[in-house]
Amino acid sequence: MPKINFCPRCAEPLVTTYDGGRDRLACPDSSCGFIYFGDFSIGCSAVVLREEDNVQKALLIQRGQEPFAGTWQLPGGYVEYDELLAVAVEREVQEEAAIEAKVRDVVGFRHMLGGPSSNIYMIFRLDYVGGEPQYDGEETSDAGFFSLEEMKHMVGVQNISRWGIEQALQTSPGSGLTIDKAGSRAQKWLLFGLEDLDPSIWNPTN
């Protein structure tokens, strides 16, 4: 079943056309040119680590609403269409757990088909800046910093969240995709790339 039947630009009924090697819905008005490539969404989540009693603990929130109410996960959510990824994930951490944190790098991502859209889910590592975990009693029913050992005894810790935490704990900060300084012009785009933590490992001049 097509998700849309009419062109969102000019309201003409969409027709099926062959484009880019497959059938797609498209506007029959050549002056419009709209082609429906499907629905896409970007999710983001944050691994925020804080040391307590010489143990690294990660920030988790407990979902207060369906779907998956009662489960524990990394703070995060959907990226708005006019919002940069780094801004979105820092905002979600503040909104869901009252924690201030700054993006360090990307430790992983998941691409998933199905559901209402094709989804990319980005897992960021953030540096803890300040604040104590709080929850609103509606969207979130609890929040706190927990070690991997403590998570073993918690019911409903989401697998993808645990995986992201393990990625962050097993790698050095800055070893993932980091924001390039050139990628902040006019606050309209970000460029992420890999950086050598030890430049002596690879030197193209040798």
pLDDT 10s digit of each residue in the chain, 206 long? 457 899 999 999 999 999 989 999 999 999 999 999 989 999 999 999 999 999 999 999 999 999 899 999 999 999 999 999 999 999 999 999 999 999 999 999 999 998 778 999 999 999 999 999 999 999 999 999 999 999 999 999 999 999 999 999 999 999 999 988 765 555 788 889 988 777 666 655 54
- pTM reported for the whole predicted model: 0.88
- Residue from 152, 147, 142, 92 nearest 122 by CA: 92
Task: Check the CA dihedral 94-97-98-102 and report its sign.
Answer: negative
Q: What's the rounded Cα separation, in Å, for the pair 12 and 1?
A: 18
Position 182 scores a pLDDT of 67
Burial 85-118 (b: 16+ CB within 10 A, else e): bbebbbebbeebbbbebebbbbbbbeeeeeeeee
* DSSP conformational letter for 199: G
Could you tell me the sign of the dihedral formed by the alpha carbons of 67, 93, 78, 170, in that order? negative
CATH topology of domain 40-172: Nucleoside Triphosphate Pyrophosphohydrolase (3.90.79)
pLDDT of residue 177: 95
- Report phi then psi at 183, rounded to 5: -95, 30
User: pLDDT by residue (tens digit) across 134-173?
Assistant: 999 999 999 999 999 999 999 999 999 999 999 999 999 9
Give domain limits for the chain. Answer: 1-38, 40-172
Helices (H), 105-155: 148-151
Q: Where are the alpha helices (DSSP H) in 28-173?
A: 85-97, 148-151, 159-170
Q: What is the pLDDT of residue 117?
A: 84
pLDDT of residue 1: 43
Of 6, 4, 16, 9, the residue nearest 32 (C-alpha):
9
